[in-house]
Amino acid sequence: MQIAVLLYPDMTALDAIGPYEILSRLPGAKLTFVAREAGPVRTDTGFLRLEAEAGLDELSAAEILVIPGGPGDEAVRADPRVLEWVRAVHETTRFTTSVCTGSLILGAAGVLAGLPATTHWTQLETLRALGATPSPERVVEAGKVITAAGVSAGIDMALRLTQILVGDDFAQGIQLGIEYDPQPPFDSGSPAKAPTHIVDLVRATMAR
Amino acid sequence: MQIAVLLYPDMTALDAIGPYEILSRLPGAKLTFVAREAGPVRTDTGFLRLEAEAGLDELSAAEILVIPGGPGDEAVRADPRVLEWVRAVHETTRFTTSVCTGSLILGAAGVLAGLPATTHWTQLETLRALGATPSPERVVEAGKVITAAGVSAGIDMALRLTQILVGDDFAQGIQLGIEYDPQPPFDSGSPAKAPTHIVDLVRATMAR
């Protein structure tokens, strides 16, 4: 099963690595990190480079496509070459997925027109402007398009996709294998739960 | 604040990238991925290379040390050069941390002697053999040594460390920024919660 994960400069690493850690363990998985050109891609903090094994020209079809998010999504949305690739690969997929603002790239590629979808909570209105119907849900399924909310939501999305593709037992096994029994120190992971002054702080920090 | 994250062949990527995504956002953070030699390091699935910016010789002190886990921990535990580096850097840290079987490396380096610690749930007895007192808790604090359970537990560990280092508001802000409001599809992320046949399956799959 060919899985393609797009990499691009100033992306958020966990958006890609969460789903990778799960989907790469599916039976028969062949997971390929793809970027505009093969080679190292620096992520948004400036401290990490992930290696793209393939350039866009080297992979034109996939059963699963994963588009991560991050501040670099804006440059990607302005890059017709990458958007064309996303559209073309989407035509071949069994599932097209995104994490965080990766859905804005799907939107810019025209993949989300009229579909319910989600993104990082600060970018729901941008998602609407790109033709989707924004949802505050953590994982949104719309036919073969599955979008996840901010950064860490890619883990939940990939487990759900595993459940769909392989079944409950396998998905539970993966969840236990990565010991995903979350115990965050606060119940503040969504704007509906965090204190107002924290929501305002993060919104200001992440304003574009 | 210098943060060092060890990379090594056949490590599990999410063990490193979970904490990286959080700790790299601490005020004044300078996060460096370090490996035996600088350059690309292939992770346990074979599908991903992470770039180490520095070799062991290039970084000898850190305020925070993060040791990820993965099947490659066994080779690291047999490598005196890396263990010596871990011991030496540990002498300089404010916090020494591990995720998953990274704690087995800390144990082999002599850092855990007599301390309570945790690891991937399948390796708790190996941890005991290395001199630690194994705990089934998800995040175990023992003075300046903080160990986390399997793979995804590094996210919870790093948020707790952020809380200690910078305070509740900042840690909540990071948690909201990465939208860490976990909603896994199953409540099966620990051996105490997963169905017995899933626990047996994963234990057999991960047997060494």
Q: Which sequence positions of B are flagged as catalytic?
A: 100
Alpha carbon of A176: minimum distance to chain B alpha carbons (Å): 4
- Closest CB to A185 among B159, B176, B189: B159
Given a cut of 90, whether residue A207 has pLDDT beyond it is: no
Using an 8 Å CB-CB cutoff, list chain B residues near A188: 172, 175-176
Q: What percent of chain A has pLDDT over 70?
A: 100
Give the model's pLDDT for residue A206: 87
The model's pLDDT over B147-187, given as tens digits with 9 standing for 90+, comes to 999 999 999 999 999 999 999 999 999 999 999 999 999 99
Looking at per-residue pLDDT, the higher value among A108 and B206 belongs to A108
Structure tokens at B139: 């995040």
The model's pLDDT over B130-147, given as tens digits with 9 standing for 90+, comes to 999 999 999 999 999 999
What is the Cα Rg of chain A in Å?
Answer: 16
The model's pLDDT over A186-200, given as tens digits with 9 standing for 90+, comes to 999 999 999 999 999
Q: What is the mean pLDDT of residues A49-57?
A: 98
Q: What is the mean pLDDT of residues B93-120?
A: 98
Q: What is the dihedral of CA B151, B154, B156, B158, to 10 degrees?
A: -170
Average pLDDT over chain A, rounded to an integer = 97
Question: Any CB–CB contact under 8 A between A164 and chain B?
Answer: no
Q: What is the mean pLDDT of residues B86-107?
A: 98
Q: ipTM of the predicted structure?
A: 0.96
CA atoms within 13 A on the CB side of A14: 30
Question: Any CB–CB contact under 8 A between B207 and chain A?
Answer: no
- Asked if the Cβ–Cβ distance from A47 to B40 is below 8 Å, we say no
Looking at per-residue pLDDT, the higher value among A51 and B207 belongs to A51
Using an 8 Å CB-CB cutoff, list chain A residues near B195: 172
Given a cut of 90, whether residue A178 has pLDDT beyond it is: yes
Using an 8 Å CB-CB cutoff, list chain A residues near B102: none
Long-range contacts of A52-55 (CB under 8 A, 24+ apart): A52/A7, A53/B47, A53/B49
Which of B21, B146, B164, B190 to substitute to test the interface with A, most A CBs within 10 Å?
A: B21
CB B69 within 8 A of CB B206: no
Q: Is A36 helix (H, G, I), strand (E, B) or coil?
A: coil
Find the closest chain B residue to A24 by CA distance.
Answer: B45
How are the residues of chain B apportioned to helix, strand and coil, as percentages rounded to the nearest 5?
40, 20, 40
Give the model's pLDDT for residue A13: 98
- Asked if the Cβ–Cβ distance from A181 to B175 is below 8 Å, we say no
Domain ranges of chain B: 2-182
Q: What is the mean pLDDT of residues A116-136?
A: 97
Give the closest residue to A17 by CA, choosing from A50, A47, A63: A50
CA pair distance B52, B61, nearest whole angstrom: 16
- Asked if the Cβ–Cβ distance from A176 to B156 is below 8 Å, we say no
The model's pLDDT over B44-71, given as tens digits with 9 standing for 90+, comes to 999 999 999 999 999 999 999 999 999 9
Interface contacts (A, B; CB < 8 Å): 229
Look up the pTM and report it: 0.97
**To which residue do tokens 């997929």 refer?**
A93
**To which residue do tokens 């003075």 refer?**
B143
- Asked if the Cβ–Cβ distance from A48 to B50 is below 8 Å, we say yes
Alpha carbon of A147: minimum distance to chain B alpha carbons (Å): 14
- B residues 46-105 closer than 8 Å to A (CB): 47-51, 53, 100
Q: What is the mean pLDDT of residues A164-175?
A: 97
- Asked if the Cβ–Cβ distance from B182 to A155 is below 8 Å, we say yes
Structure tokens at A192: 């509906």
Question: Any CB–CB contact under 8 A between B13 and chain A?
Answer: yes
Find the closest chain B residue to A181 by CA distance.
Answer: B189
Quick one: fold of B2-182?
Rossmann fold (3.40.50)
